[in-house]
Structure 1
Amino acid sequence: MTRREPPRRSEPIHNQPLEVPGGTTFNFVADGIAAGSTAENAGKGADDDGDTPAGGGGPAPPLDYYLLMPLLIAPDVSYHASWLEGSAEFGDARRDGGGAEDWPLGGLADARSFRRFVEALRNDALPEAPRKPGHVPCTYLWVVEGGTFLGSLAIRHELNDFLLNEGGHIGYSIRPSARRRGYAAAALAAALPIARGLGITRALLTCDETNTGSRATIERNGGLYEDTRNGRRRYWIECGTQ
């Protein structure tokens, strides 16, 4: 693969390479890592973040993943307005994989604060970056389609005791208005080769015992159930060959 210089942080990177620690560069279009293009092993149709169709339980109706073309990108300031809209949809609900726990949403309406937030997310992948005790290096990615922010995904580079038992390697969340369309499963499928590039050969995924939607998303990506700890179902997924 031809290595190109990454774009400036203020530019969209839909079709640009993303370099992760270890020297691996992914081009999400050239390498077929657009969410949806690698989702064949994820099955056809899954709901997102535990959502089920209105009026009943169970997964959402089947969808053709090849009609879904969201991309995973590094956090980018050009999505400021859409990120704010999507984040507001969560309200007070917990959001996995977003990295915004220490950033009040109101403060991020300011462009300069948002730029600092984006830089902090991107820098968190660096081993030497400052982080809170108990936190590990993490590659944050955004799920986007066109100019719309759809959700967040985080790949934790290693497991500490908490992550081994409850958190896992990969966490993700899709904005409520974009759920039940298969985006979570497609994004997870796209994240697996990136995890492999970070040296993760088997990724641990977890979900609440009662979250049938996330359970279906993980299982349709090849997740093998190991056990349940503290109410969290634990699955292992092979990340493929490099």
Structure 2
Amino acid sequence: MKSMLLVRPAPEYAEAIADFRREYLDAGSRMDGCGPLRRMEDPMDWVRYCRAWDTDGPLPEGVDWVRSTQFLYIRPEDGKMVGTIQVRHRFNAFLAAYGGHIGYSVRPSERRKGYAARMLRDTLPFCRQIGLEKVLISCRTDNVGSRKTILANGGVYESTVFVPGRDEELERYWIDLNNFPKSENCD
């Protein structure tokens, strides 16, 4: 598999973001790790949203949200956005119990090609760079592909939890980041 680009959302990727979103909506697929992309028709609105959460500025008042960094996974030879991955810098109550530090998605037409495992592996050095020593990642109990992705990156099973209001069970895994170098160049 050729090298991939792990980049932050930016105006030059607006067309790729729009195409990515359209494929998810057409397929009726979940968009985990994408923040509010499903609700944002204009890709530039999403780019601005992602950039706002990735700075040291104030977060919206009255909500228990956390700083996060969004990445796109771009295939250089055709510019196609094959996935997205979000790193949450700390926990709130929901993330500590269910969501974890990382959420990710691979577009429906690019699944089962190894992109998720590579995207996660390529993101872990950034997690070390922002000071995390281990990361929590969860997946639905019926999501075999995500479980394999997490295990391929050193995930160690901790527990299975039921998410009230969502009628789903999530498996929780921890990845120790001591085996991953700190990144100096995550866009």
TM-score by length of 2: 0.84
Point out which structure has higher relative CO (alpha carbons under 8 A, 6+ apart): 1
Show the 5 A alignment for 1:86-125.
Answer: 86-91=20-25, 92-101=28-37, 103-105=39-41, 108=42, 114-125=43-54
Question: Structure 2 CA distance, aligned partners of 1:228 and 1:80?
Answer: 37
Q: Secondary structure at the match of 2:14?
A: helix
Structure 2 equivalent of residue 180 of structure 1: 112
Deviations 1:15-47 (A, max 9, x none): xxxxxxxxxxxxxxxxxxxxxxxxxxxxxxxxx
Structure 1 equivalent of residue 126 of structure 2: 194
**Alignment counterpart, residue 137 of structure 2, candidates 187, 192, 205:** 205
| Letter paired with 2:173 | Y
1:139 counterpart = 2:76: no
| Identity, % of aligned positions | 35
Q: Secondary structure at the match of 2:142?
A: coil
Shift in alpha-carbon separation, 1:119–1:171, aligned structure 2, 3 A: same
Question: Structure 2 CA distance, aligned partners of 1:84 and 1:166?
Answer: 29
Show the 5 A alignment for 1:31-180.
Answer: 67-91=1-25, 92-101=28-37, 103-105=39-41, 108=42, 114-131=43-60, 133-146=63-76, 147-180=79-112
CA contact (8 A) 1:86 1:175 kept: yes
Structure 1 equivalent of residue 165 of structure 2: none
Shift in alpha-carbon separation, 1:102–1:148, aligned structure 2, 3 A: closer
How many angstroms does 1:84 deviate by? Answer: 1.2
CA contact (8 A) 1:156 1:169 kept: yes
Name structure 1 gaps, 5 residues minimum: 1-66, 109-113
How many angstroms does 1:153 deviate by? Answer: 0.5
CA contact (8 A) 1:103 1:117 kept: no
The number of residues matched between the two structures is 169
User: 124-133 vs 183-192, which deviates more?
Assistant: 124-133
**Alignment counterpart, residue 238 of structure 1, candidates 162, 176, 180:** 176
Q: Secondary structure at the match of 2:175?
A: strand
RMSD of the TM alignment (CA)?
Answer: 1.7
Deviations 1:94-146 (A, max 9, x none): 211112257432xx1xxxxx334312202212243433712100011101011
Q: Secondary structure at the match of 1:79?
A: helix
**Higher-Rg member (1/2):** 1
CA contact (8 A) 2:59 2:65 kept: no
Q: Secondary structure at the match of 2:21?
A: helix
CA contact (8 A) 1:70 1:183 kept: no
Q: Which has the higher helix share?
A: 2
Question: Structure 1 CA distance, aligned partners of 2:101 and 2:121?
Answer: 14
